[in-house]
Amino acid sequence: MKLSPDPLGCCRKTNSTEKVGRQRRNKFLPILIYTVIALACFDSLKTPAPVLAQVTPINSQPLPVRSTPLEWAAQVPLLLPSDEATHGLPDWAQVSLASRLQSDETAGGGWRPVLSGQSSVPFPQSSNGAFGQEIESALDQLRDGRSNHSIAANQTSSAEGLNQTDSEVDPWVQTVLVEGQQLASGDRWSEALSIYQAALRKAPDSATLLKQRQTARMHVDLQGRLADAKYVHFARTDSVEMAAAHLNEILLKIELNHIEVPNWTKIFQHGLSSLLISLEHSEFQTKFLGRSIDDQVGGLQQRLRDSLNSVPVRNHNEFAGLAREVAHELQRQVGLPPNVTIHEFASTAASALDTYSTFLSPGHFDDLNSQIRGNFVGIGVELRSKKDCLEIVKAIPGGPADQARIRGGDKMLAVNDQLVSEIGGDPAADLLRGEAGTPVTVVVETPEGKQYRLKMNRARVEIPSIEETKLVDASNGIGYIKLSNFQKNTPADFDRAVAQLRQQGLRSLILDLRDNPGGALDAAVAIVDRFITRGTIVSTKGRNLAENMTYSAAQTSYIGNLPLIVLINENSASASEILAAAIADHKRGTIIGQRSFGKGVVQTIFPLTSGRGGIRLTTAEYFAPSGRRVEMQGVAPDLAVQTTARPIIDSAELESSENQVAQDEVLAAAIRRATNQNP
């Protein structure tokens, strides 16, 4: 299942046995890997993969007043096929700031398997002689309970404090901060993270926004780890030595592969802040301590801050040793198993590096692999996690949810008789996963407030990368292909779509990349290859020379000088931007819409040993054929067309292409341009 926003990334297989006519220049022999251009965010966006299944049916009645979660959900009737649910568009004027500011970031990406390093980071058995003088002093203070170390002031939780910190910033930023504060106080961290990320696209220099985004991300990452049963199991059961080896592996991958030289002090402080958040989380206490330490946690957090908040950490060896010392001290003071503390430092190290780098828990790593393959087991919906529901972004065409007439804008209130508001969005989404053919029951509410109980069987489904193929203007032969993401099979699917349109009289093509978060880099390169005969398509540059690569036209898949228009918007990211930038730089087509997202860094997914998940690291930056940067700049359209709201198109609600065009200003502008360009 897929929680949105969380897009695919870009991956490109670069092994030397691949039979491709593209040139690849590299001063060093590339490792056998998949290159990833991951889309923004977070699992912040924490976006588990889409869920699918086969559906039985339905009956509609008002939701009864509940006494307990089980009784409430069980009393909602099954939806029968004869009762057609109606779906209306939301009242955009009433949508809150949190809903309007949808996250620009996307998490996800392709992957490239890399053999795990065999080297290890030594952990000192004691601190004597192992650390610098500052660390020795800090550890002495931590053991003695002294608080002489200077520290930064604690974060204020009041809106007034935030306003004072950012008094020089646009009042709009203040509005975002206040709303984010309200969401955070209600433990709605995913929503808070989404609006902070969206706001940072408009105000990237706001220090307070950056700080609040980082805090929200720590909370969201913690919720994701706690919801992953595999992570909880190995964090509980690993020996200290196994946990230390896990941390070793992650630190070495950061040291060797990240695009920037790591700032180990910053990474340690980030890990310490994350650990402090974990210690006060009731579910963390229950799962790893078996009891509440609320009466101790305040003093413990203060001692950790006082002792360690400004300690310099010079290298990954000191990081690893200091993490182990903190682990033993927490065991002494509150009984937290030291392996749990070490795993917490390991799982938060990457997220300190940049917006996109992160630890992938085993469950999330499995989801990511499913995204790359383009198939999932579940009920076939893309979800956005909310505090009291799972919001349906869309149902995958042909999947169980689609067959049950679940649509974008619906809300999932319960899964298997457990209320989302009681167990949380991510755990509820986890309940949708399971073996193909097994049943799952959900309670769904339509935008009109009508509620249904649906029973479905999970199933495996292929996620289409081409969402729609048709002639939008038959008289002028104007074809339209909606490309929703880039997968391994996208080039072949694209060729079939073009062949289908040619049979219908294709004379020019509109390629819609709006809201396309990216996907397989090879697929994006291959689509560009259909339209140009020579020259660079995209190049990458990193700290390691092995990341410096150039992808050029293969001259084998050219489809002719077909007039081309590419549609983009602010959510077109990564591989979509590679395609749009290449078409623009080669002057091969017209770009129409709004400036794209601006995700121009390459990421690599490294699997970790012993089934401990993976780590996603930013390893390079990519550049358009002209050499211009895409990161934070995006691709500007040749013809800018602004829209008040992206129309929600549902084939069941629209009877003709004319109705769709009438609601879509960008598509209408593209058709006018294509009409004038037709030979």
- Active-site residue flag, 206: no
Task: Report the distance separating Cα 56 and Cα 70, nearest Å.
Answer: 21
548 in the same domain as 519: yes
Q: Is the Cα torsion angle 404, 62, 393, 284 positive or negative in sign?
A: negative
Q: Which is catalytic among the residues 46, 508, 599, 664?
A: 599
Tell me which of 426, 585, 596, 664 is the catalytic residue: 585
Same domain, 243 and 392: no
What is the C-alpha separation between 556 and 543, in angstroms, rounded? 32
Write the CA distances from 205 to 134, 165, 656, integer angstroms.
Answer: 32, 13, 46
Catalytic residue among 574, 576, 596, 664: 574
Domain boundary among 412, 438, 458: 458
125 within domain boundaries: no
Are residue 256 and residue 279 in the same domain, yes or no?
yes
* Mean pLDDT over each residue of the chain, to the nearest integer: 76
**Is residue 283 scored above 80 in pLDDT?**
yes
Q: Are residues 448 and 581 in the same domain?
A: no
Indicate if 233 and 85 belong to the same structural domain. no
Question: With 80 as the cut, is the pLDDT of residue 645 above it?
Answer: no
Token pair in block for residue 521: 């880099």
CB distance 467 to 484 below 8 Å:
yes
Indicate the number of domains in the chain: 3
Predicted local confidence at residue 616, as pLDDT: 92
Can you point out the beta strands (E) in 487-642?
508-512, 536-542, 549-552, 564-568, 590-593, 601-607, 614-623, 639-640
CA pair distance 78, 452, nearest whole angstrom: 6
What's the rounded mean pLDDT across residues 173-180? Answer: 88
Residue 502 belongs to some domain of the structure: yes
Q: Last residue of a domain, which of 434, 458, 482? A: 458
> Is residue 564 domain-shared with residue 513, that is, in the same domain?
yes
pLDDT for the residue numbered 414? 92
Do 169 and 218 belong together in one domain? yes
Q: How many CB atoms lie within 10 A of CB 277?
A: 18
Question: Does residue 599 carry a catalytic annotation?
Answer: yes
Q: What is the pLDDT of residues 506-556, one digit of tens each?
A: 999 999 999 898 888 889 999 999 999 999 999 999 998 888 999 999 878
CATH number for the domain spanning 442: value is 2.30.42.10
Say yes or no: 197 and 314 in one domain.
yes
Rounded mean pLDDT, 127-137: 65
Query: Please, which pLDDT band fits residue 371 given cuts at 50, 70 and 90?
Result: low
> In this structure, are 492 and 639 located in the same domain?
yes
For the four alpha carbons of 188, 194, 196 and 197, in that order, the dihedral sign comes to: positive
| 81 and 212 share one domain | no
For residue 253, what pLDDT band results from cuts at 50, 70 and 90?
very high
Taking only the tens place, the pLDDT of each residue in 57-68 is: 333 343 333 333
What is the pLDDT at residue 557? 86
419 has a pLDDT exceeding 70: yes
Average of per-residue pLDDT across 399-425: 88
Confidence class for position 675, pLDDT limits 50, 70, 90: very high
Position 56 pLDDT exceeds 50: no
Is residue 555 within 8 Å of 533, Cβ to Cβ? yes
pLDDT digits (tens, 9 = 90+) for 429-471: 878 877 888 999 999 999 998 998 989 988 887 777 898 999 9
| Owning domain of residue 269 | 133-355
Rounded CA separation 381/289 (Å): 36
Helices (H), 414-480: 420-423, 425-431
DSSP state of 486: B
Mean of the pLDDT values across residues 327-339?
Answer: 94
Average pLDDT of the residues in 370-375:
65
For residues 533 and 480, the answer to whether their CB atoms sit within 8 Å is no
Q: Inform me whether the pLDDT recorded for 591 exceeds 70.
A: yes
What is the Cα–Cα distance from 521 to 20, expressed in whole angstroms? 14
Same-domain pairing of 434 and 324: no
Domain co-membership, 438 together with 477 = no
Whether residue 72 is contained in a domain is answered as yes
Whether 128 is covered by a domain: the verdict is no
> 624-654 burial, b if ≥16 CB within 10 A, otherwise e?
bbeeeebeeebbebeeebeeeeebbbeeeeb
- The span from the CA of 42 to the CA of 149, in Å, is 34
6 in a domain, yes or no?
A: no
In a domain, 555, yes or no: yes
Checking if the pLDDT of 116 tops 80, the result is no
Of 420, 439, 458, which closes a domain? 458
User: Picking from 102-111, 499-508, 592-601, which range would have the lowest pLDDT averaged per residue?
Assistant: 102-111
Which residue blocks in 313-361 are alpha helix, DSSP H?
316-334, 338-348
User: Does 557 map to a domain?
Assistant: yes
State yes or no: is 574 an active-site residue: yes
pLDDT band at 421 (very low <50, low <70, confident <90, very high): confident
At 398-407, the pLDDT tens digits run 888 888 889 8
Tell me if 1 is assigned to some domain: no
**CATH label of the domain that carries residue 508:** 3.90.226.10
pTM: 0.71
